[in-house]
Amino acid sequence: MEENQELAEQIRSLAEGERAALPLLANAAAVIYWGMKEVSWAGFYLLQGEELVLGPFQGKPACIRIPLGKGVCGTAASRKRTLVVPDVSAFPGHIACDSASRSEIVVPLIHDGRVLGVLDLDSTVPGRFGEREQRALEAVSSVLSGMPEKLL
């Protein structure tokens, strides 16, 4: 099974019968962090008002609040589209929660045109994320975004 389907199916399986967002997102972060190579951080930021607030994650401690439109996460959320950043030092306004981070991918969680939050992955390897990872993580986002009653 291709990686994008495998991650999405594992998360869909973990979500069956679960009604609470916190354990679902915690397990999703763990599946991604441990299931993908060369990932130094994997987690979620959930939209509250005009800022993204740290949710469940795997990795080093992270920034707690990110304003919409700021950094890679805030920009992806405000644009409502995935951002793949091969070199975070070249991204204007990048927020360095971990100075060892070299590349990042952020996938918005969107339901009925409304941003619920973002899925954020970092790597210490420059250019770590590409089209394959984008497809895999967008499939995960689709699974999670299809369960908005759990994420709200």
Question: DSSP of 117-136, one letter per residue?
Answer: EEEEEEESSTT---HHHHHH
In tens, the pLDDT along 15-63 reads 887 778 888 999 999 999 999 999 999 999 999 999 999 999 999 999 9
What is the distance between the alpha carbons of residues 137 and 120, in angstroms, rounded to a whole number? 9
Phi, psi of 117 (to 5 degrees): 170, -160
Q: What value does the mean pLDDT take over residues 80-105?
A: 91
The helix or strand, by DSSP H or E, that contains position 79, with its residue range, turns out to be: helix 71-79
Q: What is the pLDDT of residue 124?
A: 96
Between residues 148 and 81, the one the model is more confident about: 81
pTM of the model: 0.93
Contact 109, 81 (CB under 8 A): no
In tens, the pLDDT along 2-28 reads 555 788 899 989 888 777 888 899 999
